[in-house]
Structure 1
């Protein structure tokens, strides 16, 4: 618990009071607002014409007042209760302080109008919905921005971090002291030792803020001989004031310096919205770029800014009233490194202020004149006209399909028409709702109050438990603005440079004629003609974009072979300074989630150029990464050379795996392993490539495959000896099928008012194949590419996992437990995998090579998908550069901002909850009547745990435990028998009710 003075809390509760107080407030359940009458006694306004009738009357009033004061003073002197309290205050030194917990359930919003701001423990501040089974793990490159370190740099001890807790707009500053027994320890600006098993959402950090010597006394205080639960740290392991004072003072001096700089530059910082916003489009800028734009004369000679200056700018951006600056690193699992901000266009900001004015007019009119005068009062209010039109549209929609209080509508499987006759002003108000529900606004944003007010004024959502963003999402569906199956993650986690097309894919402006972005083959005079060498392209028949192939070549030395990985080579033909290169750099990789795709290159570029020139086939260019091996799996040499394939055979993974068995196969988990909702699909005949059957291969070709498999198996064994962990986790797959014909993407009719019906959704756990021939060959190619570039000092983005290097002994101990279970055939508990993932940490990109301990790799660089990933394209292009190259050549244009992408698992997450909701609410699939709920996290009034069904997590609220257990008696690992009581499709949450404690 964090301690703050009562006076500070009082001041904070009065700051930034919402403008809604000027008029009557609706019951803003979604914004957790309270009206003034709920907390204060209304007072009559004094009329200037009201005067005392006589001086005698005034004297009598003053006399009564003095009598009252005397009576209260006498009562105070006689009160033993007050004496007892005074004695207690003397015995307890924490006078005038109180502690409050910060733990808002998912979807709840703080009351910033009347209630004091809450600051709670680090652990309870974590976003409970931000990580489910690792689904929000976003792999992003590691770049530093000036003096500011990256959250994955990797939050070393001594780093100063700023946290915005889930229910407070007040920042919390702390210094990372270290990680012991899986628990991170921090010293905060309040002088408290806080602890958490993970790093909460970090929005700002300063590397090397405190030296090891400055932290040593506190590090010595931390119990390091055993695991200490974070709650126990908060209540039982607090250092003395004298021990905390040096670092606490250093943090406060930093904050004071930033605050002073903020005040001295208030004029420039308050104009950030006007100076940085594009007139009509969203834009993205880093904190350093924003600071340079707002304060160009404040940089030092090297063009960098003092961390306190950058923090002052950050504070100004976060306090923007219209929420025009949204930190993308928080949206993307707090793993981005350059503190990027998505900046709303000026047109959106104008609409927000327009809505504020219109809502205020309506509420004030309703409060003063009542409904009887609404026709004449609201005739000139365009928002009111939109609300009346929205009512009619919603009634028409509900005549065909009902609304549910779960963030979506009742499923509907046929094409359906939507209302299109919206005026320009109507679309502005719809755009405001989009900003509210689809922009990942912070919890204290003014958008929540205005959005919930609009929903209440429609009078169509009285049964709703909360008029929150989930209800706003359903509101857009009922208006026909988005289909009922649209994914909110496409809007809340935007892709840079792409516009979401409702019910469709993504829209990106074309980079112009592709011929202007192409160049002659830079490796033309060095390409090796591979002639009769037999290469094998192993991919599904439906795959048309082919990145890689493998082959084997015998040497003159018995027992030694070359394993070749032939990779597509677009970097040799694309001008790195072209518009096409810039286009690819913005997206950084293909983005694909079931139903939607946004490619790194333009779609027509794939059709016109890639499929005819770069996708692997006979007489196509390639870049070959060659590794020389012996029978023991030892790497003897590596080579990289451009070439051209002449002899290529196409095989399916199924046939190859049947002939060359994977080393490890993890079967589907016991119990239900598939969830299917929606109508049956009639699949039309698809277009497939001509594939070679295994039976058609010659004896020599089969021997090639067997020899490659034997050598790669030896390489795998060598990695296991170096500490590699067998990946024996079953993977969850999602398929969506539209229009009853198995279409993987929605079809949009020529009539723009028509949507496809709800798709069929299939969620399944597939068996995990680890150690396949093609998988091991591609991993070997990445390791050889990294060695090649490292030895020649060629700058490429190396793959890194810095968290694993901090405690390799602890990681190996967890790995030994996993290997023991895997070797015995026993399943590995999810808790053990989660502990391993926490210890290993996220992956990142680095300019320096480093070991990848979980894979047993000396170093690694991704190279096998240059047609889909920018990093691979960079590595393949630079691999052919001479030793110690000058820094100017590059295969692709460097992006001005670090790339930011939405992971497939993160984007696809709503499909899981749509499927579960439809099965639970409408019986589209059989569900168990009861589930086993294993507690994984205990919060103040909420439990989070895992269900024994399809890998779903769930939340158990305190009221739903009544009669079963007390919240205070629950600990991690406890098991309950539960039933589902709510599924929210918008927020991706499952709520359960406890039936009994197992």
Structure 2
């Protein structure tokens, strides 16, 4: 809205250094620091803008007030950009004609309309995508509101009536029986009482395991460990109530505003089975569990409206999966050969050894590595990263591509895996193996990691070597300085032994093959050091908490949501988790060097793809970082002033400081043009190495393939410097429209993955602690990581990481022991015991026993005065 020239006069009056917390809290007491005469022109422009917005609203009042009915679908959820909505409402088909005033006017309307919700609230300013509730859903909400109000009014009338006329009483009872809410309440009470005969519940919305096992686990490893029995059906009106409860408590479809949301706790109170419970979403979810509408252990993350998985609660995605599967069926049954869009352009890699490094039992192999020495000394080499190439055989917009675009990537949840591409295509035709197509990203590189040249080549690979990281470690005899970690496996439920196939070949490696692997490893290490230096890299990439393994049935289990009938779930999942002891700096794993060099060479392939596309002005999902302009402290200054001295004084850097450093580096963004990625220390980067599992990678391949075909006709490098995008499947406008959805889906999947890991660990700890299904230490070591608690309305003082549980977060409650030590201080080490495991909130509540170590006060004071204190606050489920 304002140009830099317009802002120039006020710049001298703005702060020149970061404002600390105390100054920020006192800001409202300060006098305005910019003279009104200096800011007058800006204020006048703002007032003019507001008046223009009011004029737009007045001129289009009739359509703007009907915005939801104009853009909503009858029964499908829609996700529309602000431009798309404004274009429809103002009847401007060409979105390029829309003005900032018009967009702002519609934004003001949508933000106040409960039928619209930002797709990702935290990124809405950058990616303004709106979730639009369907018309039939809004009508059903109104029905439930009317039924519930009528029920409550009837209860009040009967309770306050002084009439003794029996006919009036009978009439009131008939009206109550006719009200769907009244019928639902009566049925719910009976079902809850039945459920509690078999599963215990707590007032903090946790539900216990079944009082009996389902089916004994057999030696064939094919038995399910749970069974489901049907109790009573729900009629059509009761199903509407259940959908209402699901949208309120579980799937986040319902806005947390107005009577639609606020009447839900009244329904819980009317049921009468939750006395002493917090009548919020957690208890609403508990109600659905006790009714058998969802499973007692249900993973709430799978119900997020942004995480699209094909199951009953998301019929749109399920239908897209069926369409894609039917297309694959046609191909397989007709023995049809898919057409290669790069036919005639592929290089035959012949006897080149392609090393595919992946975990044992990996189903889809996306990538492989090969190396080619240019001189005898090996001072310069070509590194080739060979990537599976399904995009050459799958057309954009096809049914298979439509499903891939909707789910955006393969989803790996502990209880089930949801592949993006049908396994009959991904595993049987495109996963790397002998005679499979590839798109190869190559770099001519020196031994110190400098890139001299790059190229992209379609091809066929003929000779591959499948290796696990463990085997490479053994073959190369890698010796690292990595610290060993202590771990112990926790398991609850009936043990089911599952064989994991080995992902490596049994044939021995020749001396030349071992030599090639050594060179790849050495060049990967060189690239790592070249990018930003080992110390910064280690700060930037902290290990994640290991994901638990969950077994319900051989192929996993979909979300168990079913509004048609009440059910009883017999038996419980088998949950197994390798709990590692976290070190002082928060590490929970061991870097043996193998994962490092493979990761580095995959990053190299992404850099090559971005460079290649950038030179040709090809719009793709470029990935980079953007620093927050309001934060004046630079990552370099923070490292020098805080991190380096801390490493010198303490010998390690606590996790909260590392995370603050990452925030200073910048926030990840997507753009259709190249821009720097500070975390990777590169001027351009994209992801292109997993097209079997990530839709954006397929998009990159489609764009590159179109350019390769164009240059094959018009000359190599004919597109360098070109601004023509007519030959591409995605124009720049198409790409700009796609990027917000990619960003939202990726952010949602990341959050769902983190929550799923936490959810299943909490399920395990709940059963281990409350029901003694697995042994737990009586005392744990915990480190204070923040003064901000994620709990609300409870006596929680701080969040800690638990050393024996891979640094898993817990809330440490204040008590007399902590009070005698002056409370909790950042960096403290305490011994603590578990008080309870709240499965709904995903929080482990602990009680301090004694203080074991305390960081010097001058160091903690330095932290409080640093940018880290303001930047790093742990995210909460709320």
The residue aligned with 2:342 is 523
Aligned equivalents of 1:554, 1:749: Cα separation in 2: 57
Q: Is the 8 A contact 1:628 1:635 kept in 2?
A: yes
Q: How does 1:30-429 map to 2 (within 5 A)?
A: 211-213=6-8, 215-219=10-14, 222=15, 224=17, 227-229=20-22, 231-234=24-27, 237=30, 239=32, 242=35, 246=40, 254=49, 258=53, 261-262=56-57, 265-297=60-92, 303-320=96-113, 323-330=114-121, 333-334=122-123, 337-370=126-159, 373=169, 375-412=173-210, 414=214, 415=226, 416-429=228-241
Quote the Cα distance in structure 2 between the aligned partners of 1:675 and 1:253: 65
CA 1:825–1:419: 2 relative to 1, 3 Å? farther
Return the offset for 1:578: 2.5
What is the CA–CA distance in structure 2 between the aligned matches of 1:749 and 1:457, rounded to whole Å? Answer: 23
2:841 maps to 987
Q: Which residue of 2 aligns with 1:913?
A: 762
Give the whole-Å Cα distance in 2 for the aligned partners of 1:379 and 1:589: 48
The structure where helix makes up a greater share of residues is: 2
8 Å contact from structure 2 (residues 492, 768) kept in 1: no
Partner-residue secondary structure (3-state), 2:307: coil
Check whether the contact 2:295–2:561 (CA below 8 A) recurs between aligned residues.
no
CA apart distance, 1:651: 1.1
- Residues 629-648 of structure 1 aligned to structure 2 (within 5 Å): 629-648=445-464
- The yes-or-no answer on 1:798 pairing with 2:622 is yes
Written as runs of structure 1 = structure 2, the 5 A alignment for 1:628-707 is 628-660=444-476, 666-667=482-483, 676-688=490-502, 691-693=504-506, 696-707=508-519
Q: Is the 8 A contact 1:663 1:772 kept in 2?
A: no
- Matched residue SS, 1:531: coil
Match of residue 867 from structure 2: none
Distance 1:890 1:580 in 2: 19
Q: CA deviation at 1:922?
A: 3.4
| 1: CA distance, partners of 2:636 / 2:541 | 16
1:827 corresponds to 2:652: yes
Q: Is the 8 A contact 2:784 2:827 kept in 1?
A: yes
Secondary structure of the structure 2 residue equivalent to 1:729: coil
Alignment correspondent of 1:570 = 390
1:946 and 2:795 equivalent?
Answer: no
Residues 530-539 or 436-445, more deviating: 436-445
Residue 423 of structure 2 corresponds to: 606
Find the counterpart in structure 2 of residue 101 from structure 1. Answer: none
Distance apart, 1:667 and its partner CA? 3.9
Greater CA drift, 626-635 or 961-970: 961-970
One of 853, 864, 873 as aligned partner of 2:698: 873
Deviation (angstroms), 1:554: 2.3
Partner of 1:780: 604
Q: CA RMSD in A?
A: 4.1
Deviations along 1:601-637, one digit per CA (max 9) or x if unpaired, are 3xxx321x22222111111111111111233332222
Distance change (3 Å), C-alpha of 1:730 and 1:577? closer
In structure 2, runs of 5+ residues without a counterpart are: 162-168, 215-225, 581-587, 712-717, 855-878
Who is 2:366 aligned against?
547
Describe the SS at the equivalent of 1:696: coil
Rounded Cα–Cα distance in structure 1 between residues aligned with 2:19 and 2:67: 49
2:786 is the alignment partner of 1:936: yes
Q: Is the 8 A contact 2:779 2:831 kept in 1?
A: no
In structure 2, the residue matched to 1:712 is 524
| Preserved contact between residue 554 and residue 561 of structure 1 (Cα < 8 Å) | yes
Task: Please give the alpha-carbon distance, in whole angstroms, between the structure 2 residues aligned to 1:400 and 1:434.
Answer: 23
Does residue 274 of structure 2 align to residue 461 of structure 1? yes
The yes-or-no answer on 1:432 pairing with 2:244 is yes
SS of residue paired to 1:837: helix
Aligned to 1:767: 589
Match of 1:486 among 298, 318, 326: 298
Q: 1:375 to 1:979 in 2, by over 3 A?
A: farther
Check 1:934–1:379 CA distance in 2 against 1; reply closer, same or farther (3 A cut): same
C-alpha distance in 1, partners of 2:631/2:474? 39
TM-score normalised by the chain length of structure 2:
0.78
Residue 868 of structure 1, CA deviation: 1.0
CA distance in 2, matches of 1:575, 1:479: 45
Distance 1:423 1:652 in 2: 54
Q: 1:475 aligned to 252, 274, 287, which one? A: 287
> Residue 568 of structure 1 contacts residue 621 of structure 1 at CA under 8 Å; is this kept in 2?
yes
Separation (CA, whole Å) in 2 of partners of 1:971 and 1:245: 44
Query: What secondary structure, in the 3-state scheme, does the structure 1 residue paired with 2:661 have?
Result: helix
- Taking a change above 3 Å as real, the CA distance of residues 449 and 748 of structure 1, as seen in their structure-2 partners, is closer
**SS of the residue 1:513 aligns to:** helix
Pairwise CA distance, 1:234: 3.3
Q: 1:838 aligns with which of 660, 663, 670?
A: 663
CA contact (8 A) 2:298 2:559 kept: no
Contact 1:734 1:764 in 2 (8 A): no
Cα distance in 2 for partners of 1:541, 1:938 equals 41
Query: Larger deviation: 493-502 or 428-437?
Result: 493-502
**Rounded Cα–Cα distance in structure 1 between residues aligned with 2:4 and 2:821:** 39
How many residues are paired up? 772
- Secondary structure at the residue paired with 2:441? strand
Does the residue aligned with 1:447 lie in a helix, a strand or coil? Answer: helix
- The alpha carbon displacement at 1:227 in A equals 4.2
User: Match for residue 757 of structure 1?
Assistant: 572
Alpha-carbon distance between aligned partners in 1 of 2:499 and 2:464, rounded to the nearest angstrom: 26
Asked if the contact 1:933–1:948 (Cα under 8 Å) also holds between the matched residues in 2, the reply is yes
Q: What is the rounded CA distance, in whole Å, between the counterparts of 1:858 and 1:303 in structure 2? A: 30
SS in 2 for 1:296: coil
What is the Cα deviation at residue 784 of structure 1?
A: 2.2
Instruction: Give CA-to-partner distance per residue, 1:693-713, whole Å, 9 cap, x none.
Output: 4x7111111111112222332
Q: Which position in structure 2 is the counterpart of 1:618?
A: 434
Residues 226/471 of structure 1: CA separation in 2 closer, same or farther (3 Å cut): closer
TM-score normalized by structure 1?
0.69
Q: Displacement, 1:787?
A: 2.3
Contact map agreement 1:329 1:335 (CA 8 A) in 2: yes
Classify 1:591/1:747 alpha carbon distance in 2 versus 1 (closer, same or farther; 3 Å): closer
The structure with more radius of gyration: 1
Counterpart CA distance in 2 for 1:499 and 1:303 is 37
- 1:245-284 Cα shifts (integer Å, max 9, x gaps): 7567766665565456446544323322322222222221
- Cα 1:214–1:436 change in 2 (3 A) is farther
Shift of 1:858: 4.0
Change (3 A) 1:969 1:346: same
In structure 2, do the counterparts of structure 1 residues 546 and 938 end up closer, same or farther at CA, with 3 Å as the change threshold? closer
CA contact (8 A) 1:873 1:892 kept: no
Q: Counterparts in 2 of 1:874-889, with a 5 A limit? A: 874-880=699-705, 881=707, 882=711, 883-884=718-719, 886-889=724-727
Q: Give 1:360 shift.
A: 0.9
Aligned CA distance change for structure 1 residues 754 and 889 (closer, same or farther; 3 Å): farther
Task: Report if the CA contact (8 A) 1:355-1:450 is conserved.
Answer: no
3-state secondary structure, aligned to 2:437 = strand
Greater CA drift, 982-991 or 845-854? 982-991
SS in structure 2 opposite 1:495? coil
